[in-house]
């Protein structure tokens, strides 16, 4: 996307329909089976009008006065999608044959500074969730009715983003994110990289191939704004430095348009992969996996965490996981672990610090987890992981209402806000916002 002549950016005019922008759509088309064919490429707007066209297997379409793809709650008309239509005419023994393929296309930019994450040149703050493709009836995997339910809940919550923890999700999920403006941190299945042999040349070669597959599949989704190459590796081990330097450089070569990260829970001084990421994504569970029950230590520990990471790397930071396990219906005052009050208390302590640091260099917060999910049995798991703000059956715990209030407050402060109450939904079950 290139700014057109006379374009100015300022707090008063940045949401003006962005009619001063010239959008650029680069395309490359691969055809198998014949060398005798012609290609025509058309870009259609939402009304079906052709706004740009080209020929051949590679080219660039220029879109004057482009409508940009904006995240949910960041613009009056989020998630604007064009249709890229490729028409092929081939000469065969049976005569002339034709076919066409249509791909939804969003025009937007992503950039990172020392303290901001920018979409279309404007600061974006991730207020979202981590998810799993999991529910109690079908278990793990893709389920259309469940997906529609989850998107309704995301929009009710005021969430503008999620991370595909810890593997690529079904393509239908990405398509809905494009359509509804839900921003995605797209994560590879690079989880469990913990042993020294996990950093072998064989593992690295496989990981490079996995990133090639992920980028090839998801590169055309405007909702995908960042690649995550791994979750919680032992990035303090000596081989990790070369491993992540190579892996991240490879991913950037595959797609220079998006930032790259991995999600760490290592110490800031010991992490050998952090120098190579564009955004620091940190997982921490203060007052859960240690200092049990002592919520009073959270603010000091969390503020120290952020300050140490930023002082060392001068990069924007996302709190990529935080939370506490809660069994729905358990109540204790004073709050005790596994009660709904304890989960809410932990979140409130995190939010106090996040509200301070998001004015400086923290660019997002993703709760762990959107919903309870099943795990292997162990003494630490009470019929699965119970850190969800919704149950595995998608019923809200008290923390869901706390987070909803926060996310809508953040949306009102940082993005487009309609004063009129509006009903929006996915499917046929509206929620009133």
Tell me the catalytic residues.
Answer: 232
Token readout for 270 is: 């010991």
Q: What is the 3-state secondary structure (H, E, C) of 36-78?
A: CEEEEEEEECCCCCEEEEEECCEEEEEECCCCCCCCCCCCCCC
Q: How far is CA 22 from each of CA 71, 86, 144, 223, 251, rounded to the nearest angstrom?
A: 19, 21, 36, 20, 27
Please say whether the beta carbons of 4 and 22 come within 8 A: yes
Please say whether the beta carbons of 82 and 69 come within 8 A: no
How many whole angstroms separate alpha carbon 406 and alpha carbon 413?
11
Please say whether the beta carbons of 320 and 282 come within 8 A: yes
How many whole angstroms separate alpha carbon 308 and alpha carbon 432?
41
Please say whether the beta carbons of 378 and 397 come within 8 A: no
How many whole angstroms separate alpha carbon 158 and alpha carbon 276?
32
Please say whether the beta carbons of 91 and 50 come within 8 A: no
């Amino acid at each position: 996307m290139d700014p057109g002549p006379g374009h100015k950016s300022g707090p008063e005019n940045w949401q003006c329909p962005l009619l001063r922008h010239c959008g650029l759509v680069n395309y490359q088309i691969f055809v198998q089976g014949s060398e005798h064919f012609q290609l025509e490429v058309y870009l259609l707007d939402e009304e079906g009008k052709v706004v740009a066209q080209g020929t051949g297997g590679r080219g660039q379409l220029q879109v004057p006065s482009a409508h940009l793809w904006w995240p949910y709650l960041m613009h009056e008309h989020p998630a604007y999608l064009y249709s890229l239509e490729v028409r092929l005419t081939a000469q065969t023994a049976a005569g002339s044959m034709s076919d066409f393929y249509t791909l939804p296309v969003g025009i937007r930019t992503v950039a990172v500074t020392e303290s901001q994450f920018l979409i279309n040149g404007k600061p974006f703050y991730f207020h979202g969730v981590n998810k799993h493709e999991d529910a109690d009836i079908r278990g793990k995997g893709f389920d259309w009715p469940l997906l529609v339910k989850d998107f309704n809940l995301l929009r009710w919550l005021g969430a503008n983003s999620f991370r595909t923890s810890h593997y690529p999700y079904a393509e239908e999920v990405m398509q809905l994110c494009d359509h509804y403006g839900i921003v995605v941190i797209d994560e590879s299945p690079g989880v469990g990289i913990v042993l020294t042999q996990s950093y072998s040349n064989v593992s690295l070669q496989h990981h490079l191939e996995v990133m090639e597959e992920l980028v090839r599949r998801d590169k055309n989704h405007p909702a995908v704004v960042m690649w995550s190459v791994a979750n919680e590796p032992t990035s303090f081990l000596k081989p990790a430095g070369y491993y992540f330097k190579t892996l991240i450089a490879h991913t950037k070569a595959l797609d220079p348009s998006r930032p790259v990260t991995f999600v760490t829970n290592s110490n800031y001084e010991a992490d050998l992969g952090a120098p190579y990421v564009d955004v620091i994504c940190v997982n921490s569970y203060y007052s859960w996996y240690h200092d049990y029950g002592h919520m009073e230590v959270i603010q000091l520990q969390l503020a120290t965490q952020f300050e140490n990471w930023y002082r060392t790397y001068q990069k924007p930071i996302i709190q990529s996981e935080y939370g506490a396990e809660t069994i729905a219906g358990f109540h204790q005052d004073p709050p005790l672990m596994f009660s709904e009050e304890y989960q809410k208390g932990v979140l409130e302590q995190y939010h106090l610090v996040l509200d301070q640091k998001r004015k400086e260099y923290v660019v997002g917060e993703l709760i762990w987890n959107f919903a309870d999910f099943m795990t292997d049995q162990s003494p630490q798991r009470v019929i699965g992981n119970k850190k969800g703000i919704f149950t595995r059956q998608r019923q809200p715990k008290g923390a869901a209402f706390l987070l909803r209030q926060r996310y809508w407050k953040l949306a009102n402060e940082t993005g487009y806000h309609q004063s009129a109450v509006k009903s929006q939904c996915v499917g046929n079950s509206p929620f009133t916002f």
